[in-house]
Structure 1
């Protein structure tokens, strides 16, 4: 799904099973979270992205729901959502062959999201 914004043709990875008609809706869901809840972005390594989110129950629930649904159609994602020292962190990991997907997600975070 997330790869839809990266490729001009709108292609998604072959591993994605989300119906084509639903892909723009899922992308909008990612954009909503990335555009409103991300406090900072850290690319821990090429295949792992760490997003610090606004630490509220609503954000945690929204992200957890999105993670479960996205893992159902793009099984190559590994997600982890956790609360440490009052910080809500969402880690997204992909295999080396899916780095373009992670790049596309990171690029969708607004410029005011702090990057490290």
Structure 2
């Protein structure tokens, strides 16, 4: 995670990522880390491009494999967007998962944040 330039930290998960440009498109490639639950299942990372007026545009997702991520384990993610991400572009990240400390049936959780491409 330390090798990636952009970061987000919350009580349950840390994310780090980089932006890669490829043939008129972009990819947000990164790593997440479960820092809260004994395990997380069904992790999804969604990224939405938000225009200057605050209106949501292109939205793409990554469904994380392996299916279960234990506490303190990391996992890779990659979200491909069909447009170039230029400086000032705003992205809304949303992540979802079921987190459990074992034997409790788990808890569905969703968190989002906005980030502007520097």
TM-score by length of 1: 0.34
In terms of fraction of residues, the more helix-rich structure is 1
Give the number of the structure whose alpha-carbon radius of gyration is greater.
Answer: 2
In terms of fraction of residues, the more strand-rich structure is 2
